[in-house]
Amino acid sequence: MTDYPLDAKGLQCPLPVLRARKALKTIAIGDTLTVEATDPGAVKDFPAFCEATGNALRSSGQRDGVYHFVIERIL
């Protein structure tokens, strides 16, 4: 399994999710995408995005004003 980073810091909704959607299409099933975002809306957006797309949100958290989301590509 390979992890790919995505820097979405400074982007406002819906751009972090749109960039994640595009990046997930380029990675293999079973790989993960680690997204860093600063938009507070991302806290609600990424769980909803993963549920809607069938991908798995493996972890999420916040440190020093940056939100971190690890998404595993399932489909």
Which of the residues 11, 13, 27, 66 is marked catalytic? Answer: 13
Instruction: Work out whether the CA dihedral 48, 69, 10, 38 comes out positive or negative.
Output: positive
Name the helix (H) or strand (E) containing 4: strand 3-8
State the alpha helices, DSSP H only, in the chain: 15-24, 42-53
> Is 13 assigned a catalytic role?
yes
Residues forming the active site: 13
